[in-house]
Structure 1
Amino acid sequence: MESNQTLPILSAEEQRVLGSLIEKSRTTPDYYPMSLNGLQSACNQKTSRSPIVQYDEEIIVKTLDSLKKKGLVSTVTGGTGRVVKFKHNLGIVFPLVPSELSIICILLLRGAQTAGELNTNSGRLYEFDSLDEVQSSLEKLREGDAPFVKVLERRPGQKEVRYVHLLGDVPEYVAEPSSNLNTASMEMLESRVETLEKELSELKDAFNKLMAELS
Structure 2
Amino acid sequence: MISSAGTDEHPPLTVIEVRVLGSLLEKEVTTPDNYPLSLNALVAACNQTTSREPVMRLGEDEVTHAAVALRRRALLRQIQPVGSRVTKYEHRLGETMELSRRELAVLGVLLLRGPQTPGELYTRTARLEPFEDHADLERVLEALMARTPEPLVARLPRRPGQKELRYAHLMSGEPQADAPGTADEEPPAPTRRAGADGDRVATLERTVEELRAEVAALRADLDAFRAQFQ
Tell me the TM-score normalized by structure 2. Answer: 0.84
Aligned to 1:142: 145
Quote the Cα distance in structure 2 between the aligned partners of 1:124 and 1:146: 28
Q: Deviations over 1:61-116 (max 9, x none)?
A: 11111001111001122322211111100110112111111111001000011000
Aligned to 1:85: 88
- 1:40/1:161 CA distance change after superposition, 3 Å: same
Quote the Cα distance in structure 2 between the aligned partners of 1:38 and 1:188: 20
1:30 partner amino acid = D
- 1:123/1:184 CA distance change after superposition, 3 Å: farther
Kindly indicate whether residue 110 of structure 2 is the aligned counterpart of residue 107 of structure 1.
yes
Match of 2:128, SS state, is coil
Could you tell which deviates more after superposition, 183-192 or 44-53? 183-192
Kindly indicate whether residue 17 of structure 2 is the aligned counterpart of residue 14 of structure 1.
yes
Alpha-carbon deviation of 1:188?
Answer: 3.3
Alpha-carbon deviation of 1:171?
Answer: 5.8
Aligned to 2:212: 196
Match of 1:101, SS state, is helix
- 1:172/1:29 CA distance change after superposition, 3 Å: farther
When the two chains are superposed, the root-mean-square deviation of aligned CA atoms in Å is 2.2
Q: Check whether the contact 1:21–1:87 (CA below 8 A) recurs between aligned residues.
A: yes
Quote the Cα distance in structure 2 between the aligned partners of 1:80 and 1:145: 42
Kindly indicate whether residue 53 of structure 2 is the aligned counterpart of residue 50 of structure 1.
yes
Of 45, 52, 61 in structure 1, the residue corresponding to residue 64 of structure 2 is 61
Of 142, 154, 158 in structure 1, the residue corresponding to residue 158 of structure 2 is 154
Quote the Cα distance in structure 1 between the aligned partners of 2:101 and 2:85: 31
Instruction: Structure 2: give runs of 5+ residues left out of the alignment.
Output: 7-11
Could you tell which deviates more after superposition, 37-46 or 184-193? 184-193
Instruction: Structure 1: give runs of 5+ residues left out of the alignment.
Output: none
Aligned residues, how many?
A: 211
Q: Check whether the contact 2:17–2:70 (CA below 8 A) recurs between aligned residues.
A: yes
Alpha-carbon deviation of 1:191?
Answer: 1.5
- 1:55/1:200 CA distance change after superposition, 3 Å: same
1:202 partner amino acid = L
1:34 partner amino acid = L
Aligned to 1:129: 132
Quote the Cα distance in structure 2 between the aligned partners of 1:132 and 1:57: 40
1:163 partner amino acid = Y
Q: Check whether the contact 1:34–1:86 (CA below 8 A) recurs between aligned residues.
A: yes
Tell me the TM-score normalized by structure 1. Answer: 0.89
- 1:5/1:201 CA distance change after superposition, 3 Å: closer
